[in-house]
Amino acid sequence: MTLTKLSCKQKAKIIALTGPEPLRQRLVALGVLRGFPVSVAATSLLGNPRTYFIGKQQICLRNKEAGYIEVELQL
């Protein structure tokens, strides 16, 4: 599933980055990489954008970009 489908309180792990190359490069530079744990940190009023804890940082992503991040739920 993609990161947009992740609901609050769920924990997941990034399994792949898809989408256009410049976006991937940008995410990689920020340390958004395969294998990193991710969870939802905050949701704005209309549900877009949201912020996520990824690794040790809190990153704000619009749903369009978050849709390019494939994750897998962790129990």
Where on the chain is the footprint of other proteins (CB under 8 A)?
A: 16-17, 21-31, 33-34, 36-37, 39, 41-46, 48-49, 51, 53, 55-62, 64-65
Token pair of 38, please?
A: 């991710």
Residue among 5 and 74 whose Cβ is closer to other proteins: 74
Residue with tokens 């992503």: 61
Beta strands in 5-49 (DSSP E): 11-17, 37-43
Q: How far is the CB of 35 from other proteins (least distance, A)?
A: 8
Rounded to an integer, what distance in angstroms lies between the CA atom of residue 2 and that of residue 71?
Answer: 6
Residue closer to other proteins by CB (options 5, 37) is: 37
